Amino acid sequence: MKGASCCPAPGVFGSFDLWNWLLVASRNLSIAEEQNADVMVVCNGCYATLQEAYHLLEKPERLEAVNKILREIGRNYQRKIGVKHVVEILREKDVWEKILASQTRSLENLKVAVHYGCHFLKPSKIRGHENPEAPRHLDEIVEELGAKSVDYLDKLMCCGAGGGVRAANLDEALSFTLTKVENMKKAGADVLVTPCAFCHFQFDTGQKELMDKGRLKEPIPVLFITQLVGLAMGFSPESLGLHANKIPHNYLGKI
């Protein structure tokens, strides 16, 4: 998407200036529409903004108001394309069957704690996935790859970073992160898996910050959902970028 900008962020930007938030999101959607391709995102926040913008522009009068501004910069959006999360792509029947057929590495000894992230599930009427209070999408991916998805206390709790909390009050954000990590560890998880780039950042960088502050001794490694799939398909940890994480991936001897 050449020329695309920040989505923009749903919590902070959208809360302060809904109109300009919608305009920026619509501009991004128009870039994808020019290419006649749906937008695929790997961040729950981007998903929230772009999918909700698509939903809001269902009203013709709102779409026309947006396009009146977009035409000033030579752009136009007609809602001919939509927005998909990478998890939705993975779960498409033909895609998932090819992934399973390509699996070369066993994950049967791996215990995984899944973190969905707030924006992946809610508002549920717009997301349209499943019961937001008892989701199974990610757990099913983990289990169908042969690993064990472990249940843990406060599974649907925020990572701590969202809504501008990380920027405004880092200690409070880290308290959320610490609670979730400790609960995962109590459940016996070897690794944490998330479908959100921002949650991934918070858990990886946040745990390092907690360790630097002396609040956490034993961290838990963090994997993005596609990295877990990549490991199952036989990709090397280096090719998946695991060496770039701040928390070492010490579970790799189990797979």
Cα separation, 36 vs 205, in Å, equals: 36
Within the chain, all domains assigned CATH 1.20.1050.140 are found at 12-85
> Which tokens in the block code for residue 203?
């858990």
Concatenate the DSSP letters of all residues of 174-220 into one string: HHHHHHHHHHHHHTT-SEEEES-HHHHHHHHHHHHHHHHTTS-SS--
Single-letter amino acid, residue 63 = L
Contacts for 29 with CB less than 8 Å, ≥ 6 apart: 39, 50, 53, 54, 77, 81, 83
Cα separation, 44 vs 42, in Å, equals: 7
Half-sphere exposure of 129 (CA within 13 A, CB side): 25
Per-residue pLDDT tens over the stretch 189-243: 999 999 999 999 999 999 999 999 999 999 999 999 999 999 999 999 999 999 9
Within the chain, all domains assigned CATH 3.40.50.11810 are found at 91-254
Average pLDDT score over residue span 81-90: 95
Cα separation, 65 vs 244, in Å, equals: 44
Using omega within 30 degrees of 0 as the cis cutoff, is the peptide bond preceding 8 cis? yes
Q: What is the pTM of this model?
A: 0.93
Cα separation, 135 vs 205, in Å, equals: 26
C-alpha dihedral sign at 55, 56, 59, 63: negative
Q: Residue 83: what are its φ and ψ, rounded to 5°?
A: -135, 135
What confidence category does residue 156 fall into, taking pLDDT thresholds of 50, 70 and 90? very high
How much is the pLDDT for 162?
87
3 state SS of 132: coil
Domain 12-85 sits in CATH at 1.20.1050.140
Do the Cβ atoms of 122 and 132 come closer than 8 Å?
A: yes
Per-residue pLDDT tens over the stretch 8-63: 988 888 888 999 999 999 999 999 999 999 999 999 999 999 999 999 999 999 99
Do the Cβ atoms of 141 and 103 come closer than 8 Å?
A: no
Mean predicted lDDT score pLDDT of the chain: 96
DSSP state letter for 1: -
| The CATH classification of domain 91-254, taken from the options 3.40.50.920, 3.40.50.11810, 3.50.50.60, 3.40.1550.20 | 3.40.50.11810
